[in-house]
Structure 1
């Protein structure tokens, strides 16, 4: 299989079917979970679920030993928000053990039982007994996350918006420009509300690219977390287009911008409750808060130029995100500024192959188009709606929002462009 195709190794520990199921699930709130397992076939999926970003706020503890271990443990220890119990006991014995557990279990604690008997009568009896859910082994990672989500996530709550994080493999590769143009295209093509958050507080360019000069922006939110709610954030948003709003960076050096790892998470959660699409313009730095944002985002886009340092950095990012996001699709790749005159370059195929990714787009170097758009505070689509690069940006927007799929093979136009950057034979 070509390295340009998504394979099971690139996708991480979750299968493609599990990833599709997980993508439809919402994050679980801060809860404590204790799991008591008898078999590795049950403990392993639960362990993988504990590493999933949708359970990142939950505290998971896994103990081998099943129901008897739980009974011994809770004699002296308070019960958590959720107990997951595996039992191979017969139905009568299982019900008897659960009666004993009820004597030491807090009334507010939820219980999921994983059994080995596919018995409808047992299922109904367990529900009458007060068990939150009964699942028959074997189970999958998606089963674990889905059952926990069903108990602790309000199904009537408004769906969370999708967060897409853009980061450059190196400074100056055009990640912010791609992010802003994709966000603008999402808002205009789909008439969907989009919020752009410029997270590069000292040097952000979103206010310039969108021709905005707001008095307030994301700095006011991050430095006053106690005030963050939908109403307060709405005051900080600058309206860039009919369906596009901006949380602008101050772009000033009158203070230092050192943040805790969780500094932006409340802002992101609040925006996601009010807008269906959130584009995060992440600066090319590596610290606790950028790591957390890239871990928690629904999609990650890496922008790179076709040269060696970018390839090394992109490879590091892809490998790290694979470990941080084992149950999500790999990040997307955009190769930008291809074909700079007289600059030695790595061909797009050779650049993408060690990353194991098919590029979303290979965007050629067009100094006049990008320069004119930047100097006029306009998006590329406003400067020349029929330009091939604008169409590439539109394709990126469609793929990131799930309105189109990345084709397994480069289409003719991309193939021709890739061939253009191959080293010429002497």
Structure 2
């Protein structure tokens, strides 16, 4: 009965425990596939071959999870009675999802009225199951995920790395958000110059640390820039050898997101496969270009490709920032014409100020320590990220009637009928 919903669920889901009870191999396979979905990195997914009776006996002895999924072959009064028995054994706040055999609107409404979070009809595909569970957890626990921000350049030399540094410093020092900055370029990374550190590890070693599921190993690879900002001190990779794969990078990003409210990834010199995997899942994308025709032409193409990998259509999370305005006025596209040239509005302009930006980078000085650079970062970057950070990184109340759990809903229904 539920449709796939992507709004508000494309986040790293909060820590939770979910358990499914089913005899159907297809349902079990669809459920187990959730383990490869990055949103479920902090969700403990348990599965049991059984039905509502096994669930009842299990939670007679053990605490119930945040969400219980029960598959049944028949939906009648006898199942509803057993569902009520299950509710009596569950902790307050436990949510329930039922998977059944019939597509019946009245049945769906009846179950929802009883307190069940959702009703799905077999066969259940993984994307549908993922969205329903994600929606249930968001309603139950609120949005407490982390924000992934991708910074990419339309071409080399547009200043994307420097702006990613400025953004990270601004989010950490001005917005006071714990932030991790990483460069997906491997040995081509130049973050160490601008942030004053020598690369102490490689992306390959960082991925190994993430795959070992030992956060302390990854913690030792971090360079502390300020109280709220850490940078993954990679850059020691061999420049002319193949680096990590897209799947490996996702493992690393998942661990960083699990530990930090904001993760910023500089993609400006990263291999195409790594760019694609980060751009597909980022909460916010900042695409940096200069106002010159070659850069804007590439920006237009990249904008189209990014929209395609993110499902097509308009994307409010994709922002264009024009850097080095005034570097060569006679050869630049005018401000009024840039939006028409690339197909989206320009979200921010940075003037060409080499003494400020290149001066800070060359001396290892944070951009937020320069008054002029700080003002530009606040006006052009922080105003863009604030809505995404506040909606993805800060908790919100989840006190809706539906998220109160199915125990109260079912028992309330029984009481009314008695």
Which of the five TM-score ranges fits, normalised by the shorter chain? Answer: 0.5 to 0.7
> Could you say what secondary structure the match of 2:106 adopts?
coil
Matched, 1:356 2:351: no
Tell me which residue corresponds to 1:116: 105
Tell me which residue corresponds to 2:167: 182
Check 1:317–1:272 CA distance in 2 against 1; reply closer, same or farther (3 A cut). same
Check 1:379–1:260 CA distance in 2 against 1; reply closer, same or farther (3 A cut). same
Matched, 1:314 2:299: yes
> Could you say what secondary structure the match of 1:233 adopts?
helix
Tell me which residue corresponds to 1:256: 241
Tell me which residue corresponds to 1:289: 274
Aligned residues: 328
> Could you say what secondary structure the match of 1:337 adopts?
strand
> What is the Cα deviation at residue 248 of structure 1?
2.2
Q: Aligned-residue CA RMSD in angstroms?
A: 4.5
TM-score, scaled to structure 1: 0.63
* Partners of 1:169 and 1:304 within 8 A in 2: yes
Q: Deviations over 1:323-381 (max 9, x none)?
A: 22128534111011111135501123322224332222111111111121111111222
Check 1:241–1:199 CA distance in 2 against 1; reply closer, same or farther (3 A cut). same
> What is the Cα deviation at residue 258 of structure 1?
3.0
> What is the Cα deviation at residue 301 of structure 1?
1.1
1:275 to 240, 255, 260: 260
Check 1:185–1:135 CA distance in 2 against 1; reply closer, same or farther (3 A cut). same
* Partners of 1:221 and 1:227 within 8 A in 2: no
Q: Deviations over 1:298-334 (max 9, x none)?
A: 2111101112222222122221221221285341110
* Partners of 2:283 and 2:388 within 8 A in 1: no
Matched, 1:191 2:176: yes
Matched, 1:369 2:359: no
> What is the Cα deviation at residue 24 of structure 1?
6.1
* Partners of 1:217 and 1:236 within 8 A in 2: no
Distance of 1:83 and 1:320 partners within structure 2: 40
Q: Tell me, which stretches of 5 or more residues in structure 2 are unaligned?
A: 28-36, 42-67, 81-95, 122-126, 392-418
Q: Tell me, which stretches of 5 or more residues in structure 1 are unaligned?
A: 1-13, 36-51, 57-80, 97-108, 137-141, 404-426
> What is the Cα deviation at residue 385 of structure 1?
4.9
Distance of 2:222 and 2:172 partners within structure 1: 15
Check 1:295–1:33 CA distance in 2 against 1; reply closer, same or farther (3 A cut). farther
Distance of 2:308 and 2:193 partners within structure 1: 35
> What is the Cα deviation at residue 83 of structure 1?
9.7
Matched, 1:298 2:298: no
Check 1:376–1:82 CA distance in 2 against 1; reply closer, same or farther (3 A cut). same
Tell me which residue corresponds to 1:134: 119
* Partners of 1:163 and 1:298 within 8 A in 2: yes
> What is the Cα deviation at residue 261 of structure 1?
2.2
> Could you say what secondary structure the match of 1:259 adopts?
coil
Tell me which residue corresponds to 1:211: 196
Distance of 1:215 and 1:375 partners within structure 2: 20
Matched, 1:161 2:149: no
> Could you say what secondary structure the match of 1:21 adopts?
coil
> What is the Cα deviation at residue 276 of structure 1?
0.3
Distance of 2:78 and 2:305 partners within structure 1: 43
Q: Which stretch shows the higher mean deviation, 182-191 or 21-30?
A: 21-30
> What is the Cα deviation at residue 241 of structure 1?
0.8
User: Which structure features the higher share of helix residues?
Assistant: 2
> Could you say what secondary structure the match of 2:8 adopts?
helix
* Partners of 2:202 and 2:237 within 8 A in 1: no
> Could you say what secondary structure the match of 1:192 adopts?
coil
* Partners of 1:209 and 1:378 within 8 A in 2: yes
Q: Which stretch shows the higher mean deviation, 181-190 or 215-224?
A: 215-224
TM-score, scaled to structure 2: 0.64
